[in-house]
A and B are shown apart, each in its own frame.
Chain A
Amino acid sequence: MSSTIEPPRLGHKTWREKVGLAEMLKGGVIMDVVTPEQARIAEDAGAVAVMALERVPADIRRDGGVARMSDPEMILEIKSVVTIPVMAKCRIGHFAEAQILEAIEVDFIDESEVLTPADEENHVDKHVFTVPFVCGARNLGEALRRCGEGAAMIRTKGEAGTGDVVEAVRHMRTIMSQIRSVQNAREDELYVLAKEHQAPLDMIRTVHETGKLPVPNFSAGGIATPADAALMMQLGAETVFVGSGIFKSGDPARRAKAIVESVLFHKDPKRLAEISRNLGEPMVGINCSSLKPDEQMAGRGW
């Protein structure tokens, strides 16, 4: 018997199959990893997926210069050592990088503001791809524009590589309160809401009817402790991405496990207290309010 079986209709993906994988990742932690060893530590700690990249956002910030898609070789190395889904980042609008990531069969592509944007007007047309995409958003309009382009998962942008959760909180609160206002609007107000949010009308209708984004809503950008993860989950995140927060800390394996447990028990302060004990040094971090406008990544994306 061959090791894989040919499925039918290869290359054709329904919305349900793409969003379906995002559903499977709910209630978990997705961790940034730069080496196969880190990927193993993440999987052993209970990560639901890993984001394979050459530099974590904190290092991209420190190094400056142009940040691009990672070398496919290192992504393939990471894919070869774990059984959980592997994600990778392409630059905003860089559909050729996305095509390459699809060709090496990553499980999810993050069209990410952490990398230097390749197009200052257009994002990738994600409908034409077989692989699902996740995109960042700071508000409801941005989230729904990305869904309109075919994103199967949204994550709040936060401010990556800082270890400061303040922007992730701002973006999640903004999205959740805008969802509530769309949900409570009258039917005949949806047209003007679509205009105000600069979002497709059918997406605004979906939010009005369901009180949720059309796709799972995850959180990223500045989460560094179990308490940060619990905060984002209580504010409405369905899973958290932890980038620099784990492997820039003193004891990554331990912190990774603790953050996984904190998502599971995000409403149980007694267990969170237990989970948060003796984790060693967190990442040092950068206070977001000290960043100059051109040092902020969250502003990238249109």
Chain B
Amino acid sequence: MIFDYTLRTVALGAGTLGAVAGALGCFAMLRRQSLLGDAISHAALPGIGLAFLLTGSRATPILVLGAALAGWVGTLFVLWIVKQTRIPEDSALGIVLSVFFGIGLVILTWVQRQPNAAQAGLETFLWGQAATLLTRDVWLIAGVGVVALSLLALFWKEFKLLSFDPEFGASLGLPMLRIDILLTSLLVVAIVLGLQTVGVVLMSALVVAPAAAARQWTDSLRVMVVLAGVLGGGAGAAGAVVSSTGSGIPTGPTIVLIASAAVVFSLLASPRRGVAAELLRAARTRKRVRTDAVLADLYALAAQHGEAAEHPHSMAVLRTMRDREGSLDRTLAALARRGWASETSRGEWALTPAGIERARDLFLGNGDVGEAE
């Protein structure tokens, strides 16, 4: 089945656009412009309808061109609203998104009522239908996608600077506005490329989800962009195949479900930024605070009694010194394991020389006690 020509074509198209959207989505996310993707894709809908009305053709290049123009106009509207009014950016995005989408739906509904068979299929732009991709559509996607990725590679350092510190870039004399326009245009291109396959409603997920997942696994922009491209491409290809094999499920939701699974897994399981790792770290910290408290208490007891620091003390005394979370036995056992305390006789515990040193550090507040291993 994988060798089915149509299926391969569809998978290639969806994979390419997923890779382009995923890679460019990293910059959108890092610039906190994830919502812009949503606005662009929704704003593209009236463009599709108008392009069909004006030309009577439903050839992909024509519809994509209409979508790109409308998406661009929508973006300019957002910028204009933010600049000219006191409406904040998120509201401006919301306004443009809903107004354009509403107009798009009106046009589409009107087109459907026309007694003209050629319009059949425009509504697939809502939820996406990879099965409608023709070979020449895939070539268009692949060609434009390669150009977009090449530009991304070419202007890599400019885009990085724009995303991290645009004012510094401007102070260097780089034309940050033009670089911004170029990057935003590439995002518009990536989004409209995906509209036929993924649909206007869910296209932004293919921009945001791979980036969000990739960010969890790396602290390098290069690795993040590559990983997001791979994730987006994989989700696109897999989703297109699943939906095209007669399940009747629209492609957009399928792709988005697969990409979301990657996000959920990454949020939970990534070793440094994941929820699981975070919980583990918190548990470790709590344990360390408990053991440090016992160390400090043993040390303080010895100091109060004017005894040598390695003098043993009973657990009963330790119990009275403060309310402790968790079991004292287990905390003492943990100290013994680390070689910081030892049980001299039953119920009597003393600091070892290493334990004394650490307790002194705690008392003196010597720097990164927490990181001592």
Is the pairing of A and B real? no
Interface residues of B (CB under 8 A from A): none
